[in-house]
Amino acid sequence: MSKLALVHSLKPRSAMALALTTLATGVLAAACTGNQGGTTADGNTVKIVSSLPMTGSGIGQNQTIVNGIKQVLDETNSTACDGKVKITYESYDDATAAAGKWDPAQVTSNANKAVADKSVVAVIGHFNSGAAKLSIPILNKSNLVMVSPANTYPGLTKPGKGEANEPNIYYPNGKRNYARVVPADDLQGVAGAKWAKSLGAKKVFILDDQELYGKGLADIFEATAKKEGLQVLGHEGIDAKASDYKALMTKIKALGPDLIYFGGTTQTNAGQLIKDMRNVGMSGDKVKFMGPDGIFEKALIDAAGKDAEGVYATFGGVPAKELKGTGQKWYESYKKKYAAEPEAYAAYGYESAKVIVDAINKVCKNDRDAIREAVLNTKDFNGVLGTWSFDPNGDTTLTTLSGNVVKNGKWEFVSVLKAQ
């Protein structure tokens, strides 16, 4: 509790006590207010929060993101500005047991909670683009910045890449408060279709989970596949809560595809799709299955079991093991600290936290708007992902992607992919 909050918690029993309390409150408020309406750095504590799915099958991936965030704070001894600012961290869960994945009500509750806590100066999240769509406007009204390690839907940031009213609808106060350290789907969807062609695919069937991220990716994949000369046999949305897809897969099998593309995530039933695809006789040597980074996690292999063998996934970057220079040093330190391999987005959680701490070091006070501006103005950042900047939309200037495949029960890097 801050000193100011402590004063407010007192219950004066007399007019004199009330007067003293009012005076003390005014003195503390004056002492804590800087020229920009923030709180001075001396003796100040600011908070970073994350809002990620920590319930359900996504916990494995998201726990490694949290680990990456904690690494940054450990390395800085949870301080900034030469020790004048103390940084605390809290992990919010944006998923519920009932949903088994991110839950809209929980997402908005978390966003409002972050806004209400005046010590919070930055949010790391969300994992899912649909969740970010709900949070960004809530945070925007309070100039609270959010940096995402994983959101990839283009409409959140890029004019002309989503719906007609996007992205401005997400920024009611007219200022951008959202940035991401991972390339958007307008790159990944294109790279996926080009990769499918290079793998020998000629006839593809496209599925999506009817969510913002999944359908957006599937649409981009479809448009690019047609440009690349692939025959698109069909495109359907699935019920992500269905118990099986045998009838759907039987229908698709009759069309004779050599690749099925799924725009979706492990949490929207990718594992069951793969199982039923194989169950109806579409073996991996005849019909390939490809998905985006939403399936690029150990949880997909756990969900699909032996049928995951040979599944392909694109990723908006390269796996941790393939990082170079500073990234390789981070990879080794992560393994040493947590005695485990980091999942795909761990480095992106680390990078998100580094960018925020860098911004706090520039501002050195509890000033949400100044920290928001410092984050969005990140240029030539030498991080674990390479040297990069945020462009005017809040997107990373990095464009390198990768193709990966499940081999012997593990994800393996195949090649660097280009969207151009």
Q: What residue spans define the domains of the chain?
A: 3-32, 40-183+323-389, 185-315+402-417
Residues whose CB is less than 8 angstroms from the CB of residue 236 and which lie 6 or more positions away in sequence, other chains included: 206, 207, 208, 248
User: How would you classify residue 369: left for phi > 0, otherwise alpha for psi between -120 and 50, otherwise beta?
Assistant: alpha
In 3D space, the residue among 227, 20, 37, 24 whose CA is nearest the CA of residue 142 turns out to be 37
What is d(CA 351, CA 372) in angstroms, rounded to the nearest whole number? 16
pLDDT of the chain, 420 residues: tens digit per residue: 333 333 333 333 333 333 333 333 333 333 333 333 333 334 489 999 999 999 999 999 999 999 999 999 999 999 999 999 999 999 999 999 999 999 999 999 999 999 999 999 999 999 999 999 999 999 999 999 999 999 999 999 999 998 899 999 999 999 999 999 999 988 999 999 999 999 999 999 999 999 999 999 999 999 999 999 999 999 999 999 999 999 999 999 999 999 999 999 999 999 999 999 999 999 888 999 999 999 999 999 999 999 999 999 999 999 999 999 999 999 999 999 999 999 999 999 999 999 999 999 999 999 999 999 999 999 999 999 999 999 999 999 999 999 999 999 999 999 999 876
The two domains 40-183+323-389 and 185-315+402-417 share their CATH topology (first three levels equal) = yes
In 343-408, the DSSP E strands lie at 365-366, 381-383, 386-388, 401-407
**H/E run at residue 33:** none
8 A C-beta contact, residue 208 and residue 265: no
Reported residue count of the chain is: 420
8 A C-beta contact, residue 86 and residue 367: no
The architecture that CATH gives domain 185-315+402-417 is 3-Layer(aba) Sandwich (3.40)
Quick one: pLDDT at residue 39? 37
CATH hierarchy code of domain 40-183+323-389: 3.40.50.2300
With 0-12 / 13-18 / 19 or more C-beta atoms within 10 angstroms meaning exposed / middle / buried, residue 98 is exposed
What is d(CA 57, CA 79) in angstroms, rounded to the nearest whole number? 33
